[in-house]
Homo-oligomer: A and B are copies of this chain.
C-alpha cells in the first residue's frame, strides 16, 4: 500500500468513527477512558520494551540529553499518563451543550449547540505522552484523532496507540477513533497538510520550525500553537518586591516553556532601585542578562542586547532587559516584538493596570502575576491540547471546549420565506 493509500484508508475510518463519536453519550466515552488507563498500566511491559528500542536508537543517533529525557518512559511516566486519562473522566463533557437558544418573530426556535470538530490531526515531536494525552482529550470531546509523532518515538507511539485503541474498542468504541500514522516517511506529513477531505483541523505541537512548516503548507485549517516571546513590564508604580518575585518566577521556574518570560521591561524611574536587586536574584538562579545601554550602566556584568535579542524566544536561562522611558514605550515594544502569547505588568496604579489590560493584544494579559499561569490546568480547564497563538477559533490555552465547534439547530412549524 502506498503512503497516500494508507492515509486515505485511515482518513475514511476516522470520518466514520467521528460520525459514531459525535453522538456517543458521556458515560460510554468515560468508560473507554478508564479502560484505556487500565490497559496502559496492565501492558506497561510492552510499552517499556518498545520505548527501550527508541532510547537505544536515540542514543546511537546521538540525540541530546534533553531530547532523550523527553523520549524516556518509565513506570512513573506510564502511571502519570493513565492518571491523566482518569482525570478526563471527571471533566464535564462540552458536547451537546446548548449555549444559547432564541425565538424569532416568525416562530422559528434557533439553538446553538456544541458539537465535536470531527477528525483532528495532531503533528508532534518526540514526547510519547502527547500520544496518550491527545487521544484521551479527543475521545472525551467526541473527535476522532489521527496522530503523527516524531520518528524518534515511533516504537513507543505504536505500542501506546495499540494498547489504548484496543482498550477503547473493547469498551465499545468503533475502530478508527484513535489512529497513528505508522510510517516515519516525511511524505505522510505532506499528505496530511492537504488532507481536507478527511481532516477538519490540524494542530501542530512542537518547535518553531515544525509550526512554520505546517502553517505555510497546510490547506487544512490549522490552529497555530507555541511561540511565546513574553514580557514582564515593571511599571514606575510597581511593588518592587512583588516585581522581583514575579520576574524570577516567570524566567526561571521552567525556562524551556512558551509561557516563560523572555524580555523584562523596566520603567526608568525605578530602574536604579529595581535592576540591581532583580539582577542579583536572577544571577543566583544562573540567568545571563542581555541589556540595553541603560541596563548595562546599572548592571555592569550584563552583556549587550542586540536588536535580534528583542525578537528571541530563548527558552533558556537568558533574559533580555530594557529600560523604557514610560508606559507607551513599553506598549510599543510589546507590540513590535511580542508574539501575542502572554504579557504581564507589575503595577499598583489603577489606571495603568486598566490601560495595560485593554491595550495589550495577546492571548493572556496579566496584572501582578507570573506569565507562567498561561496553561490549561492553571486556568482551570482540566486539560490542555496546546496554547493557541492565533486569533481564529481558539486563543490561549486550549481545553476540551476548544476541541468543539457548534451547529445551529432550528425547530420550525412550516416556516418559509
Contacts and interface: CB of A to CB of B under 8 A. Distances in A.
A409 interface: yes
A365 B410 contact: yes
Contacts of A367: 410-412
A405 B405 CA distance: 14
A246 interface: yes
Interface string A19-51: 100110000000000000000000000000000
Nearest to A410: B366
Interface stretch (A166-174, A279-287, A300-308, A356-364): A356-364
A391 interface: yes
Contacts of A239: 414
A22 B408 contact: no
Interface stretch (A65-73, A128-136, A312-320, A368-376): A368-376
Nearest to A409: B357
Interface of A: 19, 22-23, 102, 104, 108, 110, 115, 117-118, 196, 200-201, 215-216, 219, 221-223, 239, 242, 245-246, 248-250, 253, 335, 357-359, 361-370, 372-374, 378-380, 390-393, 395-396, 405-417
29 contacts: A22-B361, A23-B358, A23-B359, A104-B378, A104-B379, A110-B380, A118-B361, A196-B215, A200-B391, A215-B219, A245-B414, A249-B417, A253-B416, A361-B407, A364-B407, A364-B408, A366-B410, A366-B412, A368-B411, A368-B412, A368-B414, A369-B410, A369-B416, A374-B408, A378-B417, A379-B408, A391-B405, A392-B392, A395-B406
Q: Which 5 A-B pairs have the closest CB atoms?
A: A369-B412, A249-B416, A393-B393, A391-B405, A368-B412
